[in-house]
Amino acid sequence: MSRADLIDDLLAGRAKYSSIFNYPTLNWADIGAVGWLVDGAAIVNQVALQRTSYGPYARAMVRICKEESFHARQGYDIMMKMSFGTEAQKAMAQDALNRLWWPALMMFGPPEAESVHSAQSMAWKIKIMSNDEGRQKFVDQTIPQIEYLGLDVPDKEAKLNKKTGHYEYSDPDWSEFFDVLKGNGPCNVDRMAARNKAHDDGAWFREGLLAHAEKQQIAAE
Partner 1 sequence: MAKDWPLWEIFIRGQYGLSHRHVGSLHAPDAEMAVLNARDVYTRRNEGMSIWVVKSADITATAPDRKGPMFDPSNDKTYRHPTFFDIPDEVGSM
For position 7 contacting partner 1 by CB under 8 A, the verdict is yes
State which residue, 56 or 165, has the beta carbon closest to partner 1: 56
Number of H helices, E strands in the chain: 9, 2
For position 209 contacting partner 1 by CB under 8 A, the verdict is yes
Among 88, 113, 213, 219, which residue sits at the site for partner 1 (rule: CB under 8 A)?
213
State which residue, 15 or 91, has the beta carbon closest to partner 1: 15
- DSSP letter at 153 equals P
- From the list 28-36, 129-137, 176-184, 202-210, the region that binds partner 1 by CB under 8 A is 202-210
Give residue 142's region: left, alpha or beta (phi > 0; psi -120 to 50).
Answer: alpha
For position 59 contacting partner 1 by CB under 8 A, the verdict is yes
Q: Which residues contact 187 (CB under 8 A, 6 or more apart)?
A: 22, 23, 24
For position 4 contacting partner 1 by CB under 8 A, the verdict is yes
State which residue, 38 or 61, has the beta carbon closest to partner 1: 61
CA distance 7 to 9: 5
Cα distances (Å, whole numbers) of residue 158 to 47, 112, 128, 148, 154: 25, 20, 26, 16, 9
- Positions touching partner 1 (CB under 8 A) are 2-5, 7-8, 56, 59-60, 63, 66, 203, 206-207, 209-210, 212-213, 216-217
